């Protein structure tokens, strides 16, 4: 077999292989958080029906109304404005190992909502809070949001939808040089935000982002979805009920706080005006049988 | 090594006492949870031994485990199943060609030298494994994971003799590399 090669030292090779195995195992233990990985898999499964249900209902004007009712039940306290609500939302989910993908989606919905509220100056700030890798300069951030809007528009017309989703998500993460679909896919897999995200999860996130721009633009819808995500029947089975309650309560508080902040600050457009505008858009959409879906991101007048 | 899953709906279960779908599902979730906790790191090591870098290994392991969860009821030998799927995923990624016909930079960077690049600073020995040809790394990955040459041969769809031959060649190559290192 080895011809004239001298026999190798079997013990040395065995020792080498043991070293390699030991090191790689230690490395993987560091790289893979078992509990969070499990939460990502089982949590995604638990929340998927809710997400689908949400996607199905979100285009209905009635849902927007229901969502507003949900929002109206939240305390409109004169709480001090907090800029960290979206970040806390993501952290609450992660801290309790509760559906990181769901937390990420919610955070992105918030980002989309902010972008649609045309307060683009705050987008970079929010992105920073969410620990999204977005460029420091505001111009880049604006460009990212505009790219998202443009991509969403193309996606809505069914032209290169899949490519658009991936590119949009990559752009959302501040990736500038996405030349191909494969690049975007590779980038997405490497971004892994939040800490645990499978390729499917990344793709879901991209899809949700687009869906968020198209449908879940109102904060009320976000509230609706968040509440739905942590309903007892859809929550993760390994979480004790007390934890579920905590998550539920914390999310409500965060969203209430965030909503209060949105209301308290001088915005170019009050939220209820955004809601009304979106309801009109949804109504138009239904009337048009969704064939020529208006690009909400672009349709919101300045 | 490739023993079937512990839980299978037993033939002794009578119609009257058949578990409800909810019960079956909860049992499956518990089974999967135990399997995941027991095997996910080993699956990562398997991928690293194949040549994937830590990021890719982690991602593929997570993907494959997710797929396993969704198909859990139909998987009889999950340990082998996840390794087979993981290996295919890695190879697909390794040889993926994008729309412009170029190998993706991100994946290209995984090939071979990744183990050396990321691990060598800590354990120089790992770099030696990365210098093996892909086939030898493949059989070595299964071997290190406890699979016999016959089992490996089944998974790679080659003869057991070819597996043994590749293993011997891999060990010989590692021995040569070790000797070279010592002499230097």
A19 touches chain B (CB under 8 A): yes
Among candidate residues B99, B97, B119, B115, the one with its CA nearest the CA of residue B107: B97
More confidently predicted of B32 and A255: B32
Tell me, rounded to whole angstroms, the distance of Cα A100 from its chain centroid: 9
- What are the residue boundaries of the structural domains of chain A, listed by start? 36-299
A48 touches chain B (CB under 8 A): no
Residues of B in contact with A6 (CB under 8 A): 179
Instruction: Flag the least confident range among A56-60, A170-174, A200-204.
Output: A56-60
The size of chain A, in residues, is 302
| Spatial separation of the C-alpha atoms in residues B59 and B68, rounded to whole Å | 14
> How far off is chain A from B157, nearest CA to CA, in Å?
22
With 50 as the cut, is the pLDDT of residue A223 above it?
no
Taking every pair of Cα atoms in chain B, the longest distance, rounded to a whole number of angstroms, is 73
CATH class of the domain whose range is B132-184: mainly alpha
DSSP for chain B reads --PPPS----TT--STTPPPHHHHHHHHHHHHHHHHHHHHHHHHHHHHHHT--HHHHHHHHHHHHHHHHHTGGG-S-HHHHHHHHHHHHHHHHHT-B-TTSPBPHHHHTTTTHHHHHHHTTT-HHHHHHHTS-HHHHHHHHHHHTT--HHHHHHHHTS-HHHHHHHHHHHHHHHHHHHHHHHH-
Percent of chain A with pLDDT over 90: 0
With 90 as the cut, is the pLDDT of residue B36 above it?
yes
With 90 as the cut, is the pLDDT of residue B40 above it?
yes
More confidently predicted of B142 and B119: B142
The answer to whether the beta carbons of residues A87 and A129 sit under 8 Å apart is yes
pLDDT, one tens digit per residue, over A37-49 is 787 677 654 333 3
Q: Do A42 and B69 touch (CB under 8 A)?
A: yes
Task: Name the range with the highest mean pLDDT among A101-105, A178-182, A296-300, B66-70.
Answer: B66-70
Q: Which residues partner with B97 through β-bridges?
A: B103
pLDDT, one tens digit per residue, over A129-139 is 333 333 444 44
A residues 177-216 lying closer than 8 A (beta carbon) to B: 179-183, 186-187, 189-190, 192, 196-200
With 60 as the cut, is the pLDDT of residue A142 above it?
no
Nearest residue, CB atoms, A25 vs list B41, B59, B102: B41
pLDDT band at A208, cuts 50/70/90? very low
What pTM was estimated for this model as a whole? 0.45
- CB–CB contacts below 8 A, A to B: 160
- What are the residue boundaries of the structural domains of chain B, listed by start? 22-117, 132-184
Residues of A in contact with B36 (CB under 8 A): 34, 37-38, 41
Which distant-in-sequence residues (6+ apart) come within 8 Å of B178 by Cβ?
A8, A9, A12, A13, A16, B128
Its ipTM equals 0.76
Residue B103 — φ and ψ, nearest 5°? -70, 135
Q: Do B36 and A37 touch (CB under 8 A)?
A: yes
| Mean pLDDT, rounded, for B18-44 | 84
Q: What is the DSSP letter of A81?
A: P
With 50 as the cut, is the pLDDT of residue A5 above it?
yes
Q: Do A199 and B174 touch (CB under 8 A)?
A: no
> How far off is chain A from B15, nearest CA to CA, in Å?
27
């Amino acid at each position: 077999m080895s011809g004239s090669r001298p026999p190798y030292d079997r013990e040395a090779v065995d020792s080498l292989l043991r070293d390699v195995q030991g090191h790689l195992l230690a490395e993987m233990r560091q790289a893979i958080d078992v509990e969070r990985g499990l939460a990502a898999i089982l949590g995604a499964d638990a929340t998927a029906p809710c997400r689908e249900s949400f996607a199905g209902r979100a285009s209905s004007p009635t849902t927007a109304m229901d969502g507003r009712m949900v929002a109206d039940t939240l305390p409109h306290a004169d709480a001090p404005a907090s800029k960290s609500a979206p970040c806390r939302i993501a952290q609450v989910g992660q801290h309790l190992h509760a559906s990181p993908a769901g937390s990420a989606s919610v955070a992105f919905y918030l980002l989309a909502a902010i972008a649609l509220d045309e307060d683009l100056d705050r987008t970079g700030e929010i992105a920073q809070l969410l620990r999204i890798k977005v460029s420091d300069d505001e111009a880049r951030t604006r460009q990212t949001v505009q790219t998202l809007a443009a991509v969403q528009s193309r996606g809505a017309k069914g032209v290169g939808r899949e490519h658009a989703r991936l590119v949009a998500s990559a752009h959302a993460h501040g990736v500038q040089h996405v030349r191909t679909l494969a690049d975007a896919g590779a980038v997405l897999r490497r971004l892994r935000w939040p800490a645990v995200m499978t390729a499917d999860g990344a793709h879901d996130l991209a899809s949700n982002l687009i869906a968020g721009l198209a449908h879940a633009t109102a904060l009320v819808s976000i509230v609706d979805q968040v509440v739905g995500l942590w309903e007892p029947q859809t929550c993760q089975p390994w979480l004790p009920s007390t934890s579920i309650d905590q998550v539920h309560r914390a999310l409500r508080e965060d969203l209430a706080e965030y909503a209060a902040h949105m209301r308290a600050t001088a915005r170019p457009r009050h939220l209820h005006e955004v809601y009304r505008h979106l309801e009109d858009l949804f109504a138009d959409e239904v009337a048009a049988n969704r064939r020529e879906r208006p690009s909400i991101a672009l349709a919101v007048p300045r | 090594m490739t023993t079937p899953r512990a839980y299978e709906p037993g033939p002794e279960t009578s119609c009257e006492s058949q578990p409800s779908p909810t019960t079956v599902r909860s049992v499956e979730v518990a089974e999967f949870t135990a399997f995941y906790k027991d095997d996910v790191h080993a699956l990562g090591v398997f991928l690293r031994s194949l040549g994937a870098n830590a990021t890719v290994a982690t991602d593929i392991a997570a993907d494959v485990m997710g797929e396993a969860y969704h198909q859990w009821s139909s998987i009889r030998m999950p340990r082998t199943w996840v390794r087979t799927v993981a290996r295919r995923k890695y190879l697909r990624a390794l040889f993926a060609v994008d729309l412009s016909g170029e190998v993706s930079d991100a994946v290209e960077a995984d090939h071979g030298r990744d183990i050396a690049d990321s691990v060598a600073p800590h354990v120089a020995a790992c770099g030696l494994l990365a210098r093996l040809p892909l086939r030898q790394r493949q059989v070595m990955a299964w071997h290190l994971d406890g699979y016999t040459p016959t089992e490996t041969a089944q998974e790679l769809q080659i003869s057991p003799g070819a597996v043994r031959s590749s293993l011997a060649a891999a060990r010989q190559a590692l021995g040569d590399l070790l000797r070279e290192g010592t002499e230097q």
